[in-house]
Structures are given as structure tokens and as C-alpha cells.
């Protein structure tokens, strides 16, 4: 029977009532949780717990923390938050930063085993296990380090059955390289989710991805940004979501925000920027999709049942694996 | 009596003995010790114990581990090998890399307070305390960020009385900026050690640095390189510079060390051939200074007692010179 591996152990996929599959509960940098948690600022656990409580109150009970160790993954504190709030939290293994320079030349086997240990034994010396694998490519594209990391992710997925998700640069169509490496290494398309799709509006690329049999992560809804940054706007993202649903992709779409509850990056920016982000860009944080995107998509003519299916049904299938 | 915080607790400065002031017992990257110690070679502990026992057998009593958290500082594992071998190992706080963007807009005082906690309470959730503070500038030069980090290190040093040592790039004379930045926050010169001096052969710069009243770290003896690394002064050039410095009367503030890593995922994953080339450059590993550099300098006419004092009296005086505002340092 398929199960989902959370920070508090295995759960039945049917216990998932709505899941955000790519968020950051606690986000920082490697070594910070263990060495300098002070950087999160006063009361950070309370702030994270509040955001999780709000999800629960709005009918979503499951969330994936997409932070790998080098984004400051903190399994112990995440487990505590899960116990405290009742939200089911899934942790991530994998590597975020490119290792091409400065990390030594580790073999594919060594890196694969590191990820497998995170899934089977536990992360960071605990018995808290990871339930998803992250692989990353951005504008640096298919460097030697990136190729190795993708192969290791594929190996770990084949060995454990654990699903993979990909950080991509959609504007550069890195998904094409990433899927090629993963599939060549033997990973199953139905175990792979390609994220950050909405950073492009190119339906040809999106259609190609869907045709590969993978899941499509429609996240960064909205894309969190500062005043001086410009990305594909929220309205254009919603148009793309609608176009994807109309093209029949809803059975393999997954919603998320890619937003942080507590982050050393955002918590210390100047108050004006924070106000701009919280009031203009992402009011309601992790509830943006429920409170803003869904009503707007419904107004645009999308069937609410389909939206509900994407948020409530699809994650059960994507996140579960035979253990 | 003054004490230095080693990973096994305070050591009276009189007991430091022969000290290597800038080595890397274990070097990797931020987060590696906690998350993926698999990156260390499988026999890392035996290998370190072997190296440290060799130190002890050669009357090397104390080693400074120059890895802050972002070079993979690993106080728990270092404590284990220190206990097993009896070598005093001193850990450091500070920042090697320019601050990750995830650090956000922290102030100098806030970053300093993190280093103060490492010195006064303990590192990485342990009660193992740091005994030195590291500040770093390389060829990126005196950027605002580097100035910020030097100020933070300086504030922590003034507050705790724990001395600072600096990674510098003498080819670019970064020490001129680094010392100035530390002075801006009131760090006394005798509380500062400027490292990697032997990368240059320019006696004018070295003399200038000495005249500032700071300590001079003479390490990378030899500089171990892998294919593709930039050209660096060879061991012969380094020996000549050492001789000149001693002849010019600087021996009262010089300390010799290797800047060699006992365990490092970067070096440990070299191919067998690369590894053999690497090891051949530093026969004796942490014994090279004592067993190779010292005899060579004696041949060149340096008084043996002067050499010995540079790694015994000088480290002691360096730690003793640092002035504490607080207690217990």
C-alpha cells in the first residue's frame, strides 16, 4: 500500500486533506539551523506555528517543506511544529546549490547514498526521514555538478520509490535537460514533478512537459518579489493555469506558493519592503491560492471542482510511494 | 593566569606548548558536519587520530582549527579526536565567505553577538567554546561586505578579549585594509594576527605589517596545490622570506604553520594519482614545519632556539596579550 513519509512517520495518503507541495516553513542557509538559529529572529517558532494553524483552519492539513540541507533544512524543529499544529509536514532531501566547484569530486554512488540515507535512516543524525527528493537546475544549466545531482536523485528515487520534484528555470526550459538526465538514469516519469512552470507562458513547452508523463508544479502563485523585480505577473500566471486546465492537464497539476513562513532572507529586509511583500504581493501568505487564485479562476470560468481536485486529490497520488 | 578555550575546555596558556596556529583539522562546507558527514572519508577518525598522535609524538601540543562554520567547523567530532590523542585543539568563530544572501540585513552588532555566543557559550548547540575569531579578505578586496565582517569580528574581539586571526592575500596587500577596519572598531594591534604572509616576498609590505604591531602568521609551509591552482611562491622562496624576516628582527611576532587539512572532502576525493602528487608536496603533514622547515632554517644559519620560541612563546604571548572585558577568557 502506498504511504507518505512525513516528519512524524508514515501516513495513509487518504489522510491528506489538501496539500501545498512546495513551500518553505523555515528557510535559511546551510549550517544556520545548527549554528546560528538566532538569525531567524525572536519568536520564529511561534510565527511558523501561526502560519501552519491558519492552513489547518482553512482546511489544508499537509505541506511539503522544500528546503534541502543547503537551504537550512531543520527536521527537528519541523517535527516539533508538526506535533504542535497537527499539520502533516514532509521534508526534502537533495542538493540545492551547484557542486561543480569546491565540493570535491564525489561519486554518483556516494551522493545517491546520502539521499537514500535521508529517506531510509533519517536526516541530520535524527530518525526523521525525508519524503521527497529535490533536484535543481537554474540558469547555470547542465553543469557537471548538476548532472551528478540529477543522477543521484534518480538513483535514490529508484531505490526507495520516493517522488522527485525539480526546481527549474522555465524561461530557459531547463526541464528538458533535467528530464533527459532523470529518465536516462531510469527514473519513472510518474514519480517526477516539474516545478516553477508558471515562470513561463509558453504553452508549447508546458505541453511538451505534460506529454512526458510528469507532474506539473504550478507554484509561485504569486511569485514573491521586491519592488524592483519583475516576473511573470499573477494575472498571467492565472491565465496559464486556465489554459493548462483547458488543455486537459488538470490530472497532473499541483498547486503551491513557494512562499516562506520564516526566512532569514525576508525577515531582515527593511520594513517597507516587508510591507510591500505582505500587503501587495502575497496577502494571506499560504492562503493566497485558496483566497485569491481560486475565486479569480472561478470568475474566469474554471470549474471549481477541477481546482479542488488539483489541490485535494492529486497530492495523494503524487506523494505516496510503496515503502 | 590566562586560559584559552580548547574543545576540551580551558587550557592555561602556559600549557599550550608547541602550537600550530593555522591548520584545518577538518574542513568542508557549511552544514556538512551536521547533515552529510558521509562526505568525510570512511576512515576519517582513524586518519585524524593517526595524524594527531604523530603530532603528540613529535612534541606538537596544540593545533588551531581555522575552520569557521562555513568551512564545516565540527566541534563535536574534533572534541572526540582531541580526547583520544591529548592534543589541545582550539576552534574558531567568524565567517569565511561573504555573507550568504540569506543573512539578510543584519547589523554588525548582531553578527558580532553570534560570534560572542560562540566564544562565551558554545558553538552549534554544544558547550564547546571558540578560542579565536577569524576575519577574511581575499582578492575581492575591501568591499563593504568585508568591511562589515571585519567590524563584526572586531566588536566580538573587543567584547570578549579573544584574539583575531586573518586570512589575507598579501599579493594584494589586503592586510592594509584589514588592519584599518579592525582599528575602526578599536581592536588593539597585539590582539591581531595577519596570516598567509609568505604568499609574498615583498619585504617592504611585510615590514609595514610588522611595524603595525600585529602578529605575523607564516604558513602554507609549503603551499600544497592541485593541478590548475594559480602559481604560488615555492618552498624555497618561503624559506628565504622566513630567514629575512628573522634576520630583520621580527621573530618575536612570527608564528609558523601549514594551513593543511587533516580531513577535507575536497582533497579526499582526488584521484589516486592526484592524491599521491598532493601528499608528496607535504611529507610529514603537520610535522613538516618542525621536521623539515626548522632543520633547513638552521642550515641557513638561524638559531634553533629562535625557531622554537616562534611556536611556543609567541602563541602563548599572543593569547595572553588579548585583553578581556569579560570573565573567564
Read off the pLDDT of residues B105-137 as tens digits, 9 standing for 90 and up. 788 999 999 999 999 999 999 999 999 999 999
**What percentage of chain A has pLDDT greater than the value 90?**
85
What's the pTM value of the predicted model, to 2 decimals? 0.90
The β-bridge partners of A321 are A3
> How many Å apart are CA A282 and CA A275, to the nearest integer?
10
**Average pLDDT score over residue span A151-177:** 97
B35 interaction partners in chain A (CB closer than 8 Å) = 30, 69, 73, 123-124
pLDDT of residue B329: 41
Interface contacts (A, B; CB < 8 Å):
93
- Residue B36: enclosing H or E segment and its boundaries? none
Cell 488543455, residue located: A247
The DSSP bridge partners found for residue B136 are B167
Q: Is the ipTM of this complex over 0.85?
A: no
Q: What is the average pLDDT across A135-148?
A: 95
Instruction: Check residue A180 and report its DSSP letter.
Output: H
The pLDDT of residue B210 is above 50: yes
Whether the predicted pLDDT of B325 surpasses 50: no
Contacts with A264 from chain B: Cβ below 8 Å:
102-104
Q: What is the pLDDT of residue A102?
A: 67
E strand segments, B46-170: 62-65, 88-90, 92-94, 132-136, 164-167
B30/A263 touch (CB, cutoff 8 Å), yes or no: no
Average pLDDT, chain A: 95
Q: What percent of chain B lies above the pLDDT cut of 70?
A: 96
Task: Measure the CA–CA gap between B177 and B189, rounded to whole angstroms.
Answer: 14
Taking Cα atoms as reference points, which of B151, B161, B210 lies closest to residue B181? B151
Nearest CA in chain A to B124: A35
- Cell reading at A223: 511569485
Task: Tell me the C-alpha distance between B62 and B140, whole Å.
Answer: 32
Which residues neighbour B288 within 8 Å (Cβ) at sequence distance 6 or greater?
A: B221, B222, B258, B260, B282
- Judge: A36–B69 Cβ closer than 8 Å, yes or no: yes
Nearest to A39 among B103, B123, B124 (CB): B103
Give me the number of domains chain A comprises: 1
Of B29, B105, B270, the CB nearest to A103: B29
- Mutation target for A interface from B26, B31, B32, B229: give the one with most A CBs within 10 A: B31
Give the pLDDT band of residue B324 (cuts 50, 70, 90). Answer: low
Whether pLDDT at A266 is above 80: no
Name the pLDDT band for A154 (thresholds 50, 70, 90): very high
- The pLDDT score that the predictor gives to residue A42 is 87
The CATH number linked to A278 is: 3.20.20.140
Closest residue to B35, CB basis, from A35, A123, A266: A123
Mean pLDDT of A257-281: 85
Please tell me the distance from the alpha carbon of residue A58 to that of residue A46, in angstroms, as a whole number. 18
pLDDT at B328: 43
* CB atoms closer than 10 angstroms to residue B71: 26
Strand partners, A64: A90
Position A59 confidence tier, pLDDT thresholds 50, 70, 90 = very high
- What domain range includes position A36? 2-322
Point out which residues pair with B23 in neighbouring strands.
Answer: B65
pLDDT digits 0-9 by tens, B270-287: 888 988 998 999 999 999
Nearest to B213 by CA among B239, B187, B238: B187
3-state SS, residue B114: helix
Check whether A99 has a pLDDT greater than 60: yes
The answer to whether residues A58 and A287 touch, using CB atoms and an 8 Å cutoff, is yes
Contact between A259 and A25 under an 8 Å Cβ cutoff? The reply is: no
Beta strand B92-94 pairing with B62-65: unpaired
Q: What distance in Å separates the CA atoms of residue A159 and residue A115, rounded to the nearest whole number?
A: 10
Show residues of chain A in contact with B103, CB under 8 Å.
29, 39, 264, 268
Would you list which residues of chain A are within 8 Å, Cβ to Cβ, of chain B?
27-36, 38-39, 69-70, 72-73, 102-106, 110, 113-114, 117, 123-125, 263-270
Q: Which of A17-31, B3-17, B221-235 has the lowest mean pLDDT?
A: B221-235
pLDDT in tens, A229-241: 889 999 999 999 9
Parallel, antiparallel or unpaired: strands A260-263 and A192-194: unpaired
Nearest CA in chain A to B268: A104
Question: How far is Cα B133 from Cα B119, in angstroms, rounded to an integer?
Answer: 9
Computed over every residue of chain B, the mean pLDDT equals: 94
- Cβ–Cβ of A104/B125 closer than 8 Å? no
Share of chain A above pLDDT 70, in %: 99
In this structure, which long-range contacts are made by residues A152-155, counting pairs with CB atoms below 8 Å and at least 24 apart in sequence?
A152/A95, A152/A108, A152/A111, A152/A112, A152/A114, A152/A115, A153/A94, A153/A115, A153/A182, A153/A187, A154/A181, A154/A182, A154/A185, A154/A186, A154/A187, A155/A108, A155/A109, A155/A112, A155/A115, A155/A116, A155/A185, A155/A186
DSSP H/E element including A209:
helix A203-211
**Which band of pLDDT confidence, cut at 50, 70 and 90, is reported for residue B102?**
low
Question: What per-residue confidence (pLDDT) applies to A225?
Answer: 86
Amino acid at each position: 500500500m502506498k504511504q507518505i513519509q512525513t516528519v512524524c512517520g508514515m501516513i495513509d495518503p487518504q489522510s491528506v486533506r489538501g496539500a501545498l507541495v512546495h513551500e518553505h516553513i523555515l528557510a535559511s542557509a546551510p549550517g544556520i539551523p545548527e549554528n546560528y538559529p538566532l538569525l531567524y529572529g525572536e519568536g520564529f517558532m511561534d510565527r511558523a506555528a501561526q502560519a501552519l494553524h491558519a492552513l489547518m483552519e482553512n482546511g489544508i492539513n499537509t505541506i511539503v517543506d522544500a528546503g534541502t540541507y543547503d537551504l537550512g533544512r531543520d527536521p527537528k524543529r519541523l517535527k516539533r511544529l508538526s506535533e504542535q499544529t497537527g499539520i502533516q509536514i514532509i521534508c526534502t532531501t537533495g542538493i540545492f546549490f551547484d557542486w561543480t566547484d569546491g565540493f570535491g569530486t564525489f561519486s554518483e554512488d556516494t551522493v545517491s547514498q546520502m539521499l537514500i540515507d535521508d529517506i531510509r535512516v533519517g536526516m541530520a543524525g535524527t530518525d526523521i526521514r525525508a519524503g521527497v527528493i529535490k533536484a535543481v537546475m537554474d540558469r547555470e544549466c547542465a553543469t557537471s555538478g548538476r548532472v551528478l545531482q540529477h543522477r543521484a536523485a534518480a538513483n535514490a528515487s529508484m531505490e526507495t520509490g520516493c517522488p522527485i520534484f525539480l526546481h527549474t528555470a522555465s524561461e530557459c526550459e531547463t526541464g528538458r535537460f533535467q528530464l533527459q538526465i532523470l529518465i536516462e538514469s531510469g527514473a519513472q516519469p510518474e514519480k517526477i514533478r516539474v516545478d516553477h512552470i508558471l515562470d513561463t507562458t509558453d504553452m508549447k513547452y508546458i505541453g511538451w512537459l505534460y506529454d512526458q508523463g510528469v507532474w506539473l508544479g504550478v507554484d509561485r502563485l504569486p511569485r514573491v518579489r521586491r519592488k524592483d523585480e519583475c516576473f511573470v505577473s499573477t494575472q498571467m500566471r492565472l491565465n496559464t493555469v486556465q489554459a493548462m486546465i483547458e488543455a486537459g492537464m488538470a490530472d497532473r497539476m499541483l498547486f503551491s506558493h513557494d512562499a516562506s513562513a520564516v526566512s532569514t532572507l525576508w525577515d531582515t529586509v527593511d520594513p517597507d519592503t516587508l510591507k510591500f511583500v505582505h500587503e501587495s504581493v502575497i496577502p494571506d501568505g499560504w492562503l493566497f491560492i485558496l483566497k485569491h487564485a481560486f475565486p479569480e479562476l472561478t470568475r474566469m470560468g474554471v470549474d471549481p471542482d477541477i481546482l479542488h481536485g488539483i489541490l485535494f486529490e492529486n497530492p495523494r497520488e503524487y506523494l505516496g510511494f510503496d515503502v | 593566569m590566562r586560559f584559552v578555550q580548547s574543545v576540551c575546555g580551558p587550557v592555561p596558556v602556559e600549557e599550550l606548548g608547541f602550537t600550530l596556529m593555522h591548520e584545518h583539522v577538518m574542513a568542508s562546507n557549511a552544514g556538512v558536519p551536521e547533515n552529510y558527514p558521509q562526505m568525510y572519508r570512511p576512515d576519517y577518525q582513524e586518519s585524524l587520530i593517526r595524524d594527531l598522535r604523530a603530532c603528540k609524538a613529535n612534541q606538537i601540543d596544540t593545533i588551531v582549527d581555522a575552520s569557521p562554520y562555513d568551512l564545516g567547523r565540527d566541534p563535536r567530532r574534533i572534541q572526540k579526536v582531541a580526547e583520544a590523542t591529548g592534543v589541545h585543539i582550539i576552534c574558531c568563530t567568524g565567517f569565511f565567505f561573504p555573507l550568504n544572501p540569506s543573512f539578510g540585513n543584519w547589523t554588525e552588532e548582531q553578527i558580532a553577538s553570534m560570534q560572542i555566543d560562540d566564544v562565551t557559550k558554545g558553538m552549534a548547540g554544544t558547550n564547546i567554546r571558540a578560542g579565536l575569531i577569524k576575519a577574511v579578505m581575499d582578492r575581492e578586496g575591501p568591499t563593504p561586505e568585508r568591511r562589515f565582517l571585519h567590524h563584526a569580528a572586531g566588536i566580538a574581539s573587543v567584547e570578549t578579549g579573544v584574539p583575531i586571526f586573518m586570512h589575507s592575500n598579501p599579493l594584494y596587500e589586503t592586510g592594509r585594509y584589514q588592519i584599518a577596519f579592525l582599528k575602526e572598531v578599536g581592536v588593539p594591534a597585539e590582539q591581531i594576527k595577519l596570516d598567509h604572509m609568505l604568499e609574498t616576498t615583498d619585504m617592504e609590505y611585510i615590514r609595514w605589517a610588522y611595524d603595525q604591531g600585529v602578529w605575523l602568521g607564516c604558513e602554507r609551509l609549503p603551499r600544497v596545490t592541485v593541478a590548475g591552482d594559480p602559481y604560488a611562491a615555492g618552498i624555497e622562496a618561503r624559506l628565504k622570506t622566513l630567514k629575512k624576516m628573522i634576520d630583520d628582527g621580527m621573530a618575536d611576532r612570527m608564528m609558523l604553520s601549514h594551513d593543511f587539512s587533516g580531513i577535507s572532502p575536497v582533497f579526499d576525493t582526488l584521484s589516486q594519482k592526484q592524491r599521491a602528487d598532493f601528499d608528496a608536496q607535504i611529507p610529514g603533514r603537520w610535522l613538516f614545519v618542525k621536521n623539515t622547515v626548522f632543520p633547513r632554517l638552521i642550515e641557513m644559519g638561524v638559531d634553533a632556539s629562535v625557531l622554537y620560541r616562534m611556536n611556543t612563546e609567541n602563541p602563548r604571548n599572543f593569547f595572553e596579550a588579548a585583553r578581556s572585558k569579560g570573565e573567564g577568557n
